[in-house]
Amino acid sequence: MSSVPWSEQIQQRYRCVLAGDICEWFDQEIWKHADDGCGQRFLHAVPPQELLDDTPQAIWPALMPCDFLPIISNGLGDYLCLRFGSDNRSREFVHWYHGGGDWIPWGDSLTEALFFDSVRQNLPGGQRDHALAAAFEPAVLSDNVHPVDRWVRQRISDREGAEIESDDGRTLADMMLSGGLSEIAVRCQLCIDAIENPLLHELDDANWRMIDPQIRQRYLFDCDLLPDDVVGSISVKATELAAVQDWPAVASHCESIAERRSDLAWVWDLWGYSLERSGNAEHAIECYRKSLLCSIFTDQTVRIRTHAFVNEGQKFSASRLLQLGYKGEGDLEANYLTCLAESSPDVRRKRVRELFERLASTAEPPEAYDAWMKAGWDLGAEPMSAYGKVLDRVAESAAAAGYQALAEMAKTHRACFEGRYGL
């Protein structure tokens, strides 16, 4: 057995710099306690030995973006993944959902991500779990008993100088936001809660059940879309419906996130729609244009119900821009919108991939890296075999830009892709 700490071996393997809590996770062997997630909690650790392999089994090549390193699973195929920055340092942890490839940041650190995992069902919006509506009861493991939770809460307490705990979900959310804990994930929960419509969602009414399920989802997303004749036929008053949703709160949360980062489609989609429904089409268009620049895998479409407005593999922002009559500014945006307007999902993904491949071929290394990543994971590459070239070019452009850790990640995903599919 090697005397070199696990964290040192992993840093050498991926040419990266790990944060202190990740080093502690491996070197103090906290990960060994993460072996019983019960399907709801992320408590199935990826062993460090596996991460040192040339082709770690936990990596889902092509389906998982090639800057994701899986660290811990819920045992159902979903992972908390570490992402590195261009400075080769650990950047954030994201929840990656295997069923559709959606991902969302859960924290800047492993500690934050695991803490959020332990409390998310108690937060507002917890009734709609990540990527799919919750299908499980809250975790059976006690937050105060499990060794991983004790480790996480001790680190949080040391950082904040006090415990972050409350039986009231909204108070807990406020405490987490004040402490800067998992801000994006918490604000997403609060957005979901702000537009959740229990009067309709739980309505036991024959006329309501007769409405097409996809149309019902649109009404649940925005109760103002309910026609008068439908409102008159169900056992809920229009005044009651109007008081349920809080779209100004949604806009406020989205604006707070947008001040910090711009790569999450669901943020711009919700902010844009809140502006559109209030009559501010000009600013709504600007939000939707920014959403166009984000990967479709960041739209959280099922959780926030924007999936009811689009067909397979379509961007909500593109559909709203089309509704608003927007044609694009400049050749690039116009060409991109033309690609997105393709009716066939496979053709749409192929055309988008080819567009970004052309952009990457003439770009300097940093811009080429971004373009190759978009070629693979803006909509997803088509055909599947195209990922071989995409991964090769991502690795090459990352290395040329000096992104050592990202280059190693892409090479690792490429090896996994070849090993998994023979391509």
Count of residues making up the chain: 423
Q: Express each pLDDT in 270-299 by its tens digit.
A: 999 999 999 999 999 999 999 999 999 999
What Å distances lie between residue 71 and 4, 93, 135, 144, 199, CA to CA? 20, 9, 24, 22, 40
Q: Express each pLDDT in 374-386 by its tens digit.
A: 999 999 999 999 9
What Å distances lie between residue 277 and 62, 150, 176, 194, 280, CA to CA? 37, 45, 30, 15, 7
Cite the DSSP H helix spans in 324-378. Answer: 330-340, 345-361, 365-377
pTM given for the model: 0.93
| Three-class SS state of 135 | coil
For the chain, residues with pLDDT lower than 70 are: 1, 36-39, 127-145, 161-162
Q: What is residue 1's predicted lDDT score, i.e. its pLDDT?
A: 58
Q: What is residue 94's predicted lDDT score, i.e. its pLDDT?
A: 98
- The amino acid at 179: G
Q: What is residue 139's predicted lDDT score, i.e. its pLDDT?
A: 41
Q: What is residue 138's predicted lDDT score, i.e. its pLDDT?
A: 39
Nearest to 323 by CA among 333, 336, 337: 337
- Please, what is the Cα angle at 357 between 354 and 363, to 5 degrees? 150
